[in-house]
Amino acid sequence: MSNLFDKDLGKDSSVDAYLEAIEAETTEEHVEETTPTNWDAAKTVAREVAETIVLTVIIFFLIQTVVRNFRVVGTSMAPNLHDSQYLIVDKISYRLGEPQRGDVIVFEPPNRPGEDYVKRVIGRPGELVEVKNGQVFINNDPLDEPYVVYPASYSMSQRRVGSEELFVLGDNRNSSSDSHNWGMLLQEKVVGKAWVSYWPPGQWGVIPRDAPSETATLGYLLGDLIPSE
């Protein structure tokens, strides 16, 4: 009886051991299937990096279609814009509407293809423009230009602005290459509207259409808000 009991016990122990072995093997297989390899991890990281790069490129080109930066060269717009001043140019506004008189615009001049100039819109399509002893006339009426500190010392006979053209002048009239000497500007050559000055910090501010740029800088506005002692 004792021997029989021992045999049955041994048989039962073997079965239990076999079942445990199968269970352990199944667990190991499950772990192997769910644990990613180094190669899988590397592919995941590479995919995420690629997606980030593609998204960055898309955002960059989207921004470039709306705005761009521009560095002022020279003194043709003094004292409103200065040499080496940096501006943000709005490229979308003129797809939705026409340039207005007084707008400061960036464009490719007809006499210097491939370069960018910055000037102010003076004459719009269909208008008559004339300069008499430095005074600008639009349709025979004198133009009020509070932004001009250095008026022209020249005169220019009356000219008609074409339907797809603009007449532009620099604010520093005697030191500017503009429409008074190379003619009308085709609107298709306009890059965009100079919108904001962002460098140097002392010139931070929007660029107004009908006032000196200094009056729209952050420093000027804060100066008006802070009472003097």
- For the chain, give the percent of residues with pLDDT over 90: 59
Q: How many helices (H) and strands (E) does the chain have?
A: 5, 12
Classify 134 in phi/psi space as left (phi over 0), alpha (psi -120 to 50) or beta: left
Radius of gyration of the chain measured on its C-alpha atoms: 36
pLDDT tens readout for residues 175-204:
999 999 999 999 999 999 999 999 999 899
Contact 89, 106 (CB under 8 A): yes
- Which residues does the annotation mark as catalytic? 76, 119
Report the predicted TM-score, pTM, of the whole model to 2 decimal places.
0.73
Is residue 51 predicted with pLDDT exceeding 50?
yes
- Residue type at 184? M
Mind listing the pLDDT tens digit for each residue in 112-159?
Answer: 989 999 999 999 999 999 999 999 999 999 999 999 999 999 999 999
CA 50/CA 62 separation, integer angstroms? 18
**Residue written as token pair 């955002």:** 59
pLDDT at residue 6 in the model: 43
**pLDDT attached to residue 43:** 73
Strongest mean pLDDT among 48-62, 98-112, 215-229: 98-112
Average confidence score pLDDT of the chain: 83
Tell me what pLDDT residue 8 has. 45
Q: How far apart are the first and last CA of the chain?
A: 115
What is the structure's pLDDT at 52? 73
Reference 160, options 187, 193, 183; nearest CA is 183
